[in-house]
Each structure stands twice: as structure tokens, then as C-alpha cells.
Structure 1
Amino acid sequence: MQAILELAQPVAHIRLAGHFTWEGQRSFRQVTQDMLGHADIEAIHFDLARVESMDSTALGMLLLLHERAPGRAIVLHGLRADIREMVDIANTGGIFELR
């Protein structure tokens, strides 16, 4: 998985591409740790338009980020229909803003 971080304070934009699975956790952790080092970030926007697949481990990584970034909005956009369905089934729609 490829993960690219762009900062446009107060928003962090993280673009993911490929298969968002356990194997991508190192890339995910690296960009989110870099982003969390910026205290002025108020919202985290994930562009998932180029994510081909996502598993429950990836959903867990997003939930963990939610806990590690209290008070920061997490927005998921560009979700494929099957990925959006997984997020909806896991009932995380209230935690993440879906666009």
C-alpha cells in the first residue's frame, strides 16, 4: 500500500493506494505518526479513491487512529461501494465522516 501525507493546516490529507490490509500497516503508521506530530491539525482527510481493497485490520487501524487523535475529525472520502459497505456494517459511520 502507498500512503502519502500532505499538510494544509489545519487539515492533513492522506492519500492511500493499493490494498489497505495488515501488510500496509507500516506505511499507515508512518504517515499517521508524522501527522500526529503536528499539534495544529484539526482534521484528517483520507482519500481512499485508489484503495483497491480493505480488510478488517485496516478498519482497526482507522479506529486506533481515532483514539490517538482525540478531538480531530476523521473524514473518509472516495470509498468504493464494497469498502463503504464494510464501514457501514462495522457501524463506524458515527466515528468517521463519510463523503
Structure 2
Amino acid sequence: MNLTSRNEDRTATIGLDGRFTFEAHAAFKASTRNALETPGLERIVLDMEKVTYLDASSLGMILLLREAAEARQVSVELRRPSAPVMNLLEVVRFERLFKITS
């Protein structure tokens, strides 16, 4: 999986591209840790438009990000999940925990 990051207007956007599996753990953790260390950060957006697959470990990584972000009073938003990813997010009811935008 490829990750891109950009910070703008108190928002860190992390673009995810490809299969989001345990193999992406180190890169995802580093990217989100860097984002959380940004002074004045209010929101992290995970842009999931190009994610083709999520496994259980990636769902866990997203939940851990939410926990770390909430401790810093930062919200986490899931943006533009692809159709297969959205189907999984609906099954696991992530809309109850995250703002999901199209």
C-alpha cells in the first residue's frame, strides 16, 4: 500500500492506495504519528478512495488511530471509501464511530 500525507488548515489528510493489510502497519503508524504531532491539528482525514481491500488488522489500526486522536481531541474522518471498502465498513458499523463522507 502507498501512503501520501499533506497538512492544510488544521487538517492532516492521509491518502491510502492499494490493499490495506498488516504489511502496511509500520508505514500507517509512522504517518499517523507524524500527523498527530502537528501543532494545532483538529482533524485527520483518511482518504480511502483508492483502497481496494481491508483486512481485520487494518480495521484495528484505524480504531487505534481513533483512540490516539481522541486523546488529543482530534477527530478522524474516513473519506470516499471505494465500494468494496464501504461495504465492509457498513458490515462492521464504522459509521457509528467515524464520520464517513463520499
TM-score band (shorter)? over 0.9
Q: How does 1:11-90 map to 2 (within 5 A)?
A: 11-70=11-70, 71-90=73-92
SS in structure 2 opposite 1:69? Answer: helix
SS at match of 2:78: strand
In 1: Cα distance, 2:33 partner to 2:57 partner: 18
Greater per-residue helix proportion: 2
Amino acid at match of 1:4: T
Q: Any runs of at least 4 consecutive aligned residues in structure 1 with deviations exceeding 4 A, and if so which?
A: none
Structure 1: 5+ residue runs without aligned partners?
none
Percent of pairs with identical residues: 27
Does the 8 A contact of 1:10 with 1:42 survive in 2?
Answer: yes
Q: Which amino acid aligns with 2:24?
A: G
In the alignment, the residues of structure 1 paired with residue 37 and residue 14 of structure 2 have an alpha-carbon distance, to the nearest angstrom, of 14
Which residues of structure 2 form unaligned runs of 5+? Answer: none
Q: Give the total of aligned pairs.
A: 99
